[in-house]
Structure 1
Amino acid sequence: MIHSDIYVNVPHFAGKFGVERMIEQMGLSATILRPAYYMDDEITIKDVVTGHGIYPMPIGDKGVAMIDARDVGEVAAIELVRREESPAPLPLTRINLVGPDTLTGASAAAIWTDVLGRTIAYPGDDTAGFEQNLRQFMPGWMAYDMRLMAERFLTDGMVPDAGDRDRLTTLLGRPLRSYRDYVAQIAG
């Protein structure tokens, strides 16, 4: 995951960072894909957005560079083929997988507003309330993990490094899929 080296207090990030370090220390020839927040996860909040008029994810104002899972899959396929067809082992490579826009809670709500044609509010950054809501349908430990992640969204964001977007558009040979297009797809 992108920033697994920064979000070290978030269990599902820390585990992935440990695997990355192991791959590197073992000298394995691999491509490590480090995706940001999947915009596809937004399907889980669609009913809240459309039914209650709020964008409930506490992603804050630092920004989260959401990526479409189809872009993740395509990059993975390209990398698998590149490594398979290489006449010699390739060095360890890390690729941050990010979307074309860095979204805030307010900007995500504004996109939903535009797509739906009615006001969608961003209620703010209540990570404790977020955790309590999640506890209704997932184990407590998982809800707490999600809260820790949301807290890191607020303090650090999930923003791309310089050149990440250009690298991906070059690799794909096309623009990255946008959040606006994804929202239009699932809202319809």
Structure 2
Amino acid sequence: MSILVTGSTGRIGAQVVAQLAASGASVRALTRTPQKAGFPAGVTAVRGDLLDADAMRLALAGVNTLFLLVSNAPDELTQAINTLGLAREAGVKGIVYLSVTRSAEYTDVSHFTAKYAVERMIEQMELPATVLRPSYFFQNDATLKDPLTKAGLYVSPVGDKGVSMVDVRDIADAAVVELLRRDRSPAALPRATYELSGPDALTGASLANLWSDALGRDVRYAGGDLDAFERAVKTQAPAWLAYDLRAMMRRYQVDGAVATPADIERLTTLLGRPPRSYRDFARETALGWQA
């Protein structure tokens, strides 16, 4: 039996690979460049690309459990749907799929709608899968060092409705729990879905206050200017992605994305501990910047 991890070199996938290897699981890590991948001892690097059906057939041969993480891309839906179809043909017994919170509701955000279509396939094909729906990542804000430390501004236009952001370490931990549960089960397990969120409903103003405390300086919320946000993202990313993220921020501003107490309770049970707080993340990040 073995577990195939896609997205194995990213910030979530790399943690999943390391934890699975430490648990003693047999791990295959999919990568386009095996010669450059520095995986832990015992992990088998497998050359492949989610758009290459022939390579994926080879990668999935003999695999018991699949972690499917598909990054935000114009062809994200094709990558995910094809990989799930190939996994079904290969007889994969368990799947953990990384979706997104509010996947069914945010229909005007392209990567949310793509992930919901994948969830529909999982349901309709009765695939033995756990769907993880993470909220906005804490670690996305680690890119805001300059505006926070130099201008005293929190610039992500999340609005004032509240977003229950989540630590990527909690996402990885949840994925590992479910991968091992499915991999170690003698038979395929029923489908399950988890919302992955932090314990607090964070707004632009509350996030600015948390960074003020963490940095020991005044930080204020820059506001909800989506035009300025899209222009800023386009300096670092393609225009389609800048618009996609703008659409997501607009929905945060209009609807929010606040976890329910039941969501937090289920995640706490899954992890065996409460999810991490943004306050602790901000303090850890600020200390790292100062070092």
In which range does the TM-score fall when normalised by the shorter chain?
Answer: over 0.9
Tell me the matched-pair count.
Answer: 188
The match for 2:247 is: 148
Specify which of 110, 128, 145 is matched with residue 11 of structure 1: 110
The match for 1:42 is: 141
- What is the CA-CA distance between 1:28 and the residue it aligns to? 0.3
Letter of the 1:86 partner, please give it: S
- What is the CA-CA distance between 1:169 and the residue it aligns to? 1.2
Cα deviation code 1:128-153 (max 9, x no counterpart) = 11111111121111111111010000
Separation of aligned partners in 2, 1:82 and 1:75: 11
The match for 1:125 is: 224
Separation of aligned partners in 1, 2:261 and 2:119: 21
3-state SS of 1:96 partner: strand
Aligned residues: CA RMSD: 1.0
Separation of aligned partners in 2, 1:46 and 1:63: 22
Matched, 1:56 2:145: no
Separation of aligned partners in 2, 1:68 and 1:46: 17
- What is the CA-CA distance between 1:120 and the residue it aligns to? 0.3
The match for 2:97 is: none
The match for 2:11 is: none
The match for 2:198 is: 99
3-state SS of 1:95 partner: strand
Structure (1 or 2) with the larger CA radius of gyration:
2
**Structure 1 alignment gaps of length 5 or more:** none
Cα deviation code 1:64-101 (max 9, x no counterpart) = 11111111111101011111222332211111000111
Matched, 1:165 2:264: yes
Matched, 1:115 2:219: no
Separation of aligned partners in 1, 2:217 and 2:260: 34
Separation of aligned partners in 2, 1:128 and 1:94: 35
The match for 1:81 is: 180
3-state SS of 2:242 partner: helix
Separation of aligned partners in 2, 1:155 and 1:91: 35
Separation of aligned partners in 1, 2:238 and 2:272: 41
- What is the CA-CA distance between 1:116 and the residue it aligns to? 1.0
3-state SS of 1:45 partner: helix
Matched, 1:181 2:280: yes
Separation of aligned partners in 2, 1:8 and 1:161: 21
Give TM-score, length-normalised by structure 1. Answer: 0.96
Letter of the 2:166 partner, please give it: I
Q: Percent identity?
A: 50
Letter of the 2:141 partner, please give it: E
Letter of the 1:166 partner, please give it: E
Letter of the 1:41 partner, please give it: N
Separation of aligned partners in 2, 1:40 and 1:74: 15
3-state SS of 2:132 partner: strand
Letter of the 1:107 partner, please give it: S
Letter of the 2:184 partner, please give it: E
Give TM-score, length-normalised by structure 2. Answer: 0.63
The match for 1:68 is: 167
5 Å-filtered alignment, 1:23-34, equals: 23-34=122-133
Matched, 1:22 2:121: yes
